[in-house]
Amino acid sequence: MSISKQHNLAFLPNICTAKSVIRILLAGMTIALILALAAASELQALLVKFGLNALFILWTTIMSIILICMLGKILNRVSSTHAGAFILAITTFFTCIASVLGIAGLSYSSGNIVYWDTLFVLKNIFISGIITLLALRYFYVQQQWNEHVKSDSNAKYDALQSRMRPHFLFNSLNTIAQLITVDPVRAEDALLDLADIFRTTLDKRNRITLGEELDVTMRYLRMEGLRLGKRRLSVVWDMEKNALPFEMLIPPLLLQPLVENAIYHGIQPRKEGGTLGISLYETEKYLDISVSNPVPPEGTTAHSKGNHIAQENLKKRLDIAYGDRAKLSLTKTAHLYRVAFRIPKENI
């Protein structure tokens, strides 16, 4: 089995990749230099000391990494405390071997009989133990911090996701109430659409398929179509149905809130209503989505603050989900307002 394919340990980063090994070895070289600077006062002695320290540390580190990666699956099954103790035992074991080899090598090169130097071995074990414990403590604290940040991000994400405007619920219920006596079948369909919309809002999954997102958006548009009527709300879809990655996983409620925002701020304030444009395009690495609506007439700026809040909400959710891999852009002309975002294609 390839070392690079081993799983990460309970609280350690993946140390079994070439990139991680290089970083660890560079850290070891730095420690070797620090120890040499502390022990030597002349340049020649410094270079000799650094070379010996580097050889000692690199051999110990490489052997420890190899054994840790080989035992990765076993260490993943035990607690963090037991894994840390086992790693400390591994580094101590190889430190002892390196110390014995170091004593033998120095004695052989000087032509003397090999003498056991207990202080030398204990000193090396002590230094190795301190460095290993500090590294383990650092990785453990880093893991706890990452979990805290992830938990905090998930909480913020859930809060941002659930901010569907209350007015939509009230308007929808009023529309359904009016339809019950006039067209019970349409009222039942509208109630099912409303239930599906709020089921998606309350869904705890952090990813849904693009097809599910489009479905809830279409249900929302049917609800608003009942309220505003076909004369006031016209929807133009611009997408290649056969080419879109409908199984692509995306954060829930990315498109629907934009559509709701466009209707609430761009179409509802206009007596004659307007046309809502929705476009989806797939590129090799990204999915581009945009929503456009007419610019509301002058004097209807009461909800402009809410418009900015909704867009900031989307921006924060994209940042949490994708970081700098997602982009959000706003375009406003004399007659058209357009919000577009790009997200990377994942898990297709």
Q: What span, in angstroms and rounded, lies between the C-alpha atoms of 151 and 199? A: 23
pLDDT number for residue 336: 93
Per the document, the length of the chain is 348
Report whether 165 contacts 172 (CB < 8 A): no
Q: What span, in angstroms and rounded, lies between the C-alpha atoms of 23 and 52? A: 20
Calculate the dihedral angle through the C-alpha atoms of 67, 70, 76, 81, rounding to the nearest 10 degrees. Answer: -10
Q: Is the pLDDT of residue 145 over 80?
A: no
Q: Is the pLDDT of residue 127 over 60?
A: yes
Could you give the residue range(s) of every CATH 3.30.565.10 domain in the chain?
Answer: 167-344
3-state secondary structure 33-87: HHHHHHHCCCHHHHHHHHHHHHHHHHHHHHHHHHHHHHCHHHHHHCCHHHHHHHH
Give the pLDDT band of residue 210 (cuts 50, 70, 90). Answer: very high
* Residue type for position 68: I
Report whether 76 contacts 7 (CB < 8 A): yes
Q: What span, in angstroms and rounded, lies between the C-alpha atoms of 293 and 20? A: 49
Query: What is the sign, positive or negative, of the torsion defined by CA atoms of 179, 181, 182, 185?
Result: positive
Residues 6+ apart with CB under 8 A from 100: 121
pLDDT number for residue 9: 53
Give the pLDDT band of residue 7 (cuts 50, 70, 90). Answer: very low
Q: What span, in angstroms and rounded, lies between the C-alpha atoms of 267 and 84? A: 61
Over residues 110-120, the pLDDT tens digits come to 666 556 678 88
Q: Label the pairing between strands 249-250 and 208-209.
A: antiparallel
Over residues 174-186, the pLDDT tens digits come to 888 888 888 889 8
Q: What angle do CA 7, 130, 32 make, to 5 degrees?
A: 90
Instruction: Give, rounded to a whole angstrom, the gap between the first and last alpha carbons of the chain.
Output: 28
Q: Is the pLDDT of residue 2 over 50?
A: no
Over residues 96-107, the pLDDT tens digits come to 998 888 777 766
Residues 6+ apart with CB under 8 A from 20: 13, 14
Q: Which two tokens stand for residue 226?
A: 């009942």
User: Is the CATH number 3.30.565.10 carried by domain 167-344?
Assistant: yes
CA max distance for the chain: 108
Report whether 22 contacts 78 (CB < 8 A): no
Residues 6+ apart with CB under 8 A from 228: 263, 267, 268, 273
Question: Which residue is listed with tokens 């190795």?
Answer: 128
- Other C-beta atoms closer than 10 Å to the C-beta of 257 total 23
Q: What span, in angstroms and rounded, lies between the C-alpha atoms of 129 and 298? A: 72
Q: What is the mean pLDDT of residues 255-275?
A: 90
Q: What is the mean pLDDT of residues 110-136?
A: 80
DSSP β-bridge partners for residue 292: 277, 338
